[in-house]
Structure 1
Amino acid sequence: MKIRPLQDRVLVKRVEAEEKTASGIIIPDNAKEKPLEAEVIAVGNGRRLENGEVVKPEWKVGDRVLISKYSGSEVKVNGVEHLILREDDIMGVLV
């Protein structure tokens, strides 16, 4: 199954969080927070303005982005968890 996001939506996959702290302490699964970093998998065509013009998104497939903590809708694509977000839920692109 494939998904193509519509309009200003973006399909992302969360980047796995570290399992150890910098000092070597192992973090148990129930204490881990959801990572805020994600990889862009697919991008919609863009946001449509009131005058009918389409504004293309600033990111592309493969970009690493920072997302809001509780944003998006979780979906499974081929057994892998992904998020579908609105353009506004992406806070920045990692360079």
Structure 2
Amino acid sequence: MSNPTTIFSEFVSEIQFSDLSSNLIDIAKIPILDGFANMMAGSTQEVSGLVSQYVNSLGGNNQSTVIGHNYQTSTFLAAFINGVSGHCLDYEIQGHPAT
């Protein structure tokens, strides 16, 4: 018996871009671009720089980009620093409730 996480993971891994409606694509553009803009703006902040120095000192295997900084690291560490950058200015993604 599959659990909800497995069912959702299989759905996400099998979906194709062509399966998405043009309306859904248009709706998704705003939060995706807004989230990216938050990460770019946040990457210039002192806290992002400090966390970035720490993450960079840990090394990693160049799997994923650290947005706004000139290096790559493991996916886990890139997600961490990109998340810090995306939230350090206390902006929220357009249309999404505050976290």
Q: Which has the greater radius of gyration?
A: 2
Structure having the higher strand fraction is 1
